[in-house]
Amino acid sequence: MTAVELVVEIVGWGGAALILLAYLLLSAGKLTGQSIAYQAMNVVGAAGFIVNGWWHGAIPSATLNVVWMLIGAIALWRIMARRRADPAVRPPATD
């Protein structure tokens, strides 16, 4: 395995771990869907899957994760815009 292949695998597994951890924390009530941490974990995790999927020629998986990443990025943008517009609005201590 070359160094590039190793990095692609690490990025892919890291992405998988982040998405699973985000879902676990959401399901356990430690994060909400409106938390920056949850959305950021999904965006970064999907990016890892995109790299890995593209490298392996898994275009359906890579495409799905592009959409997943865009959904998370839009959600992040909206959360941050809402917080900038009203600094008094703060999430619970799960963020």
Query: Following DSSP, what letter does each residue of the chain receive, concatenated?
Result: --HHHHHHHHHHHHHHHHHHHHHHHHHTTSS-TT-HHHHHHHHHHHHHHHHHHHHTT-HHHHHHHHHHHHHHHHHHHHHHHHHHH-TT----TT-
For residue 92, pLDDT beyond 80: no
pLDDT band with cut points at 50, 70 and 90 for residue 89: low
Report the pLDDT value the prediction gives residue 87, as an integer from 0 to 100.
74
Question: Taking the domains of the chain in order of start, what are their residue ranges?
Answer: 3-85
pTM (global) more than 0.85: yes
Q: For residue range 38-57, list pLDDT tens digits in order.
A: 999 999 999 999 999 999 99
